Amino acid sequence: MNQPSARYASLEQRVVFITGGGSGIGASLTRAFHHQGSRVVFVDIDDEASEALVSELRAETGEAPRFHHCDIRDVASLQQVIAETGQHLGPIHTLINNAASDDRHAWQDVDVTYWDERMSLNLRPMFFAAQAAAEQMMQAGGGSIINFGSVSVQMALGGLPAYVTAKAAVHGLTRSLARDLGEHNIRVNTLVPGAVMTERQLEKWISPEDEITIQERQCLKMRLEPQHIAPAVLFLASNESQAITGQELAVDAGWA
C-alpha cells in the first residue's frame, strides 16, 4: 500500500495513540505514523485484523506498533491504556480519536438505550481519551489531538440520526478543547473524511451504483481510499501545523 511521500522530522520517535487503529482508515493511520518513525500505540476490538497489521509492519520494518484490545466504551480501560502508554513509552504527543461506528438506524426505532450506546461509542470516548492524553501532553510541553468528524453532517444524511448527532458534536468538542488547551501548546482539530471506500463500507453500505453516484457528486472524480486520509492527519500532528487549532479539515474529494 502506498505510503505518504512527505517525511516529517518532528514525528520521529513521537508517541502516537490511535483509537480503532487496526482496520479501515485507522489501519492506514497506524501504517503512516509507523513509517514516519513514530512510536505508535493503537487500540481496537478486532484482534485478528490488528494482530495481522502488527505482523505486517514488523515484517516490513523489523519493528511494530503496540496493539491493545480495548472497547473504547469502557472509559476506565481506555484511560488505563493511555496511562500505561505514557509510563512505558513516554508522554503521548498525538492522540487520534478515530474509532466510530456508523451503523444505520431508522429514527422511529431509536430508544434511549440505543441512543446512549451510540453516544458511548461515537462521542464520549473522544473527550475522555483527550482528558487523559492532555495531562501527558502538558507535561511534555504540547501536543496534537485530532478528532474524526464525518461528512454525514455536512451532507445532512438521513438514516443514522444518532451517529450524525454525535459527529456534529465532535467539532464543538474540538473548538472547546482548543480554547482550554491552547495555553498548554496543545492543538485540537477535526478531520472530516468523505466517502472513504473501506472494506466495511463496501460490504455493508456502498453498492457499486452508490459509488458511481458519489464520484459524480465529488469535484474530484476519484475513489477515496483510507490512504488518502493519512497525509492530512500526519500534517495536523506535525510541527508544520503548529499554528492551526480549532479547525475542521475535510478530505472528501469535494463531495460536500
Strand pairing class (248-251; 15-19): unpaired
3-class secondary-structure state, position 63: coil
C-alpha cell at 64: 511494530
Residue 190: phi and psi, rounded to 5, are -110, 130
CB 22 within 8 A of CB 28: no
CB 58 within 8 A of CB 34: no
- Distance, first Cα to last Cα, the chain: 27
CB 163 within 8 A of CB 102: yes
163 catalytic? Reply is yes
Could you tell me how far CA 20 lies from the centroid of its own chain? 7
Q: Which of 163, 167, 188, 229 is catalytic?
A: 163
Classify residue 48 by burial, with Cβ atoms within 10 Å: 0-12, 13-18, 19+: exposed
Catalytic residue positions, numbered: 163
